[in-house]
Structure formats: structure tokens, C-alpha cells
Amino acid sequence: MTATTCTAVDPSTGEPGAAFAEATPQDVHRAVEAAAEAFHDPRLREPGRRVELLRGAAARLRAAGDEIVAVAGAETGLPEARLRSELERTAGQLEAFAALVERGDYVEAIIDTPDPAAIPIPRPDVRRMLVPIGPVAVFGASNFPLAFSVAGGDTASALAAGCPVVVKGHPSHPGTGAVVAREIEAAVADVGLPTGTFALLQASGIEVGEALVDESAIAAVGFTGSFAGGKALFDRAAARPNPIPVYAEMGSVNPIVLTDAALAARAQAIAEGLSASVSNFGGQLCTKPGVVFVPQGEAGDAFVADVADRLGAAEPQVLLNERLRDGLVAKIAELEDLAAPVRSSATAEGPGFRFRAAAYRAAAAELADRPELLDERFGPVVLFLAYGSREELLHALARVEGQLTASVHAQDSDAELVAALARVLSERAGRLVFDGFPTGVAVTEGMHHGGPFPATTAPAHTSVGMTAVRRFLRPIAFQNAPASVLPPELQDDNPFGIWRRVDGELTRDPL
């Protein structure tokens, strides 16, 4: 049998590029078997070796930077500066997780010393920590060919946790995936970890991904992409004989609220920032602001017109692939039945898969009858929703479903309104941004990139920031265990010097 291939396409021209062999069902099974074997290998439990792996992978990706950026540019149409920045983010992310593993307290060690006099029953010696959950399946996203793909945040955090990773690469950038995977595999070999620690499966259809999620040994799934894709994986994983968690980040419309006072004080600066946030990189960001609530009236109208002018003046942006372009064309056709274009419509253009950015508007009050106004439109398009009063604004916001982010631009004089907005938005979004824009998610300790459904399938978790590691860990408690079986993190002398909670108090002291 001849292997099927998937072919890269340059979205700036529409021309096909290199072909890559697709993974077979046997490849999927073999990769997962190897991952399961690696999971049982004590080497993957050595924090020092994982630190070396993550740092080695970062160094290798940087060293291969020119090649990676060239291949990714031809496959995604993303500008070189963005790809260089994304590569640095990807490498920095791997290093940040290395530092997390080195610090060691991500295992959340808790030690309860025994108390024979405890009521109602004697208390044994209980020592609890987080351990890796098992082999993890990662689904790369099209829009971040590096930072949310083969060696992206899901892979970095799963490896940090001690979980082997099998990546289903996105068919939109198979060449980029292949180069990145080559470097990760080399980094795995460099530090003497089993080869099953990491694998990449290429495929253009959905069957390989489905087979991967069906593999019994897969213990969790990380996904970044569309609602349809994430929800399908969630449903499939829930229907397994042994269901597993799916951490799917499925995008959102990232509402922004502008107050009268903010427009009065700095309309131009906001228009400049908003236009960039909507159109940069073809607006193909899960944190792109899709909906902006503006006050009715002259100031609001002028602001909307200003943003529309800025978007209309920019060159058409290259979209990532034909499928996204076609999807956006369909969503725009729907939108044109619901809202009015401001100055000019959004349009697909050539060569390749280009799109001219545009703005639309409707009344916020229409959300009551037309909830589809809040649909995500993945591309350089923004919908303004004009509100007539504070009550109308708050009512409209109460109709917003789970979001990755929500942003507010306001002035000191708006304090009371801002408090009300923070209340309603904090129930709906994973991150509240003040006087800024949601795109450009910084990778920090506390960054939260998640949110209530439908933004994600797991509102208690994040796919960006150091707490992303928590997705791939589960607790285990040792009761009256002999010292010989306790992991170092739970031993009396605290050999790693990590923070632990001992009898309720955080301490780095030995017992």
C-alpha cells in the first residue's frame, strides 16, 4: 500500500509545496505504545532530565530558527517578524517550564504528620503530591505554527509534568511540524530519554486524530482550534470506555467595552490599538476582539468610522489556508444579514487566500433576538454593537457566553460602571483586560488562557502560563509509607528543598 500524503500549500499564492507521508493507523498505535512504554520508564520521572530536555529543546529550536521561520513563513503566510517572535515565545515557554520543574513545588506536596489522638479517628501519616497523568495527545493549531503546535505550550507543559507526548500536527503546516519534531526528537535523544517520549503524526483528515484519542493508553488531550474540532474531540473522549479529560481551547469573540469617558479621553489611541488587534496576522487569533460595545451617539459613530477606515486602508491579509478563508467568507455572508458594513465590506481577494479587513455594526439590543451576532468570525473582522444606556449594555453582556477574555476601556470617573462590568464579565471570561487589548498573551506564571464553555471544555484550566502543567497531573497520597518508596518530594529531609504544606503550613524546612 502506498502511503497517503498531505501537501503543504503556500497561502500567499495558493501553490502546493512539499508532500509529507500521512500517519497510518499502525503509526498511531505504535506511537502510543512507545509513549506508554516511555511513561513507565523511570528516566522520565527524573526532574533533572526533564529540565535538560526542555532547555535542550529550546536551544535546538533557536539554533534551527532560520530554517523554521523560512518553512513556517511559506506554509502560513505569517510575516517573518511574527514568526521570529513566536519562535522566541516557544523557546522561552520551554525554558519557563524547565524552571518550573527545577523549582519543583508544582507537585503541590502536602504532608500530614500522624496524630493518634485525632477525633473522630486517628490520623495516619499522609503525604500527597501530583504525579504525571499518562501519555498525552496534543493537537496543534493552525494559527500558531510554533507556540501552539508541535512544541507549543501543551507539549511543553505535558513534558514538564513527566508525560510523553504524541502530537497530531496541523495539516496546514506539515513542513514546520516536521522540522520542529526533528529538533524535539533530537533533544530527547540528547538527554537519554526513551524515544517514545515524543512523536509527531502528520495527517490531513480527521481519522488519525480520532484514532489517537481512541487509544486506551492516552490519558489526556490538549487542543487549540475551532469549536467544532474541540467539541468533537471532547465528545469522542467522553464516549471512550475509559473517558479522559480534553483540554480544548476553542476561541471566543473576546468582547471589548468602551465607555463614553474613554472615547472622550482617547478615542484615537483606542482606534489605533483596536485596529491592530483586529487585523494583525489576519485576525486569526483566538483572542482577537470580535465584538466591541460602543456608546450610541456621535462619539461612538466617529470612533467606529475611524476603525473602519483604518481597517479598510490596510492591505488584504493572507489567511492561513483555504478552509479558513472559505469559512470566513461564509460567516461574513451570514453577518451581512445581521449587521451593516461600516464604509466597506470584508472581502476575499487573491492571490492565494487573502482577505480585506472590515467593520460591521448593529445595535446591542438586537442580541436578545439574534444571539448569532456573537458568533466567532475567525479573521480580520470586527462587529460593533452600539448601546444606548448602562442598563442596555449590562443586559447585552449578560447574554455573552464563556469567553477567553473580556476587555474594558474606561476612565477613573467610570469607577462604578467598571465595578459592575467586572462583575458581569468575570463570570463569563477567563481574563479581564483593562485599557488594553486581549491579543498578545504574555506567558507568565499567572497568565490564564481559558474560560467557561464554549471558550474551553475545561474551565478550571489554562493552556498558557505556568499553571498549564496542572492539566497533566493527578494527585496521589501515600499513607504510612516507608521512606524507601516515597518520591524525593515527600521525603522527610526534603532533598529538593521545595515548598511543601506540612500540617497546614507552607514551609521549605525538612520534617
Burial of 124 (0-12, 13-18, 19+ CB in 10 A): middle
Using the contact rule CB under 8 A, the part of the chain among 164-172, 201-209, 234-242, 342-350 near its own copies is 234-242
* 116 is an interface residue for its own copies by CB under 8 A: no
- Scanning residues 314 to 373, which ones bind its own copies (CB under 8 A)? none
Contacts of 158 (CB under 8 A, 6+ apart): 136, 138, 164, 165, 220, 222, 471, 472
Q: Which of 67, 344, 499, 511 binds its own copies (CB under 8 A)?
A: 499
Q: Min. distance of Cβ 468 from its own copies in angstroms?
A: 11
**What's the start-to-end Cα distance of the chain, in Å?**
62
Site string for its own copies, 459-478 (x = CB under 8 A): xxxx--x-x--xx-xxxxxx
8 Å CB contact between 111 and 127: yes
Burial 400-417 (b: 16+ CB within 10 A, else e): bebbbbbbbbbbeebeeb
Q: Min. distance of Cβ 106 from its own copies in angstroms?
A: 11
Q: Which of 113, 15, 115, 136 is nearest to 500 (CA)?
A: 113
Using the contact rule CB under 8 A, the part of the chain among 156-164, 186-194, 230-238, 292-300 near its own copies is 230-238
* 168 is an interface residue for its own copies by CB under 8 A: no
Q: Which of 14, 79, 124, 327 binds its own copies (CB under 8 A)?
A: 124
* 479 is an interface residue for its own copies by CB under 8 A: yes
- Scanning residues 38 to 67, which ones bind its own copies (CB under 8 A)? 40
Q: Which is nearer to its own copies, 276 or 329 (CB)?
A: 276
* 501 is an interface residue for its own copies by CB under 8 A: yes
Q: Which of 86, 249, 306, 489 binds its own copies (CB under 8 A)?
A: 86
Q: Which of 400, 408, 460, 403 is nearest to 437 (CA)?
A: 408
- Has 249 been annotated as catalytic? yes
Q: Which of 251, 220, 217, 242 is nearest to 233 (CA)?
A: 220
Q: Which of 268, 372, 415, 497 binds its own copies (CB under 8 A)?
A: 415
Q: Which of 6, 22, 86, 286 is catalytic?
A: 286
* 419 is an interface residue for its own copies by CB under 8 A: yes
Q: Which is nearer to its own copies, 68 or 332 (CB)?
A: 68
Query: In Å, how far are 4, 8, 452 from 18, measured between CA atoms?
Result: 13, 6, 39
* 120 is an interface residue for its own copies by CB under 8 A: yes
- Scanning residues 242 to 301, which ones bind its own copies (CB under 8 A)? 242-245
Site for its own copies (CB under 8 A): how many residues? 90
Q: Residue 503 phi/psi, 5° resolution?
A: 50, 40
SS3 assignment, position 134: coil
d(CA 252, CA 256) in angstroms, rounded, equals 12
What one-character DSSP code corresponds to residue 23? P
Q: Which of 215, 249, 376, 489 is catalytic?
A: 249
The rounded radius of gyration (Å) of the Cα atoms in the chain is 24
Residues annotated catalytic, as ranges: 249, 286
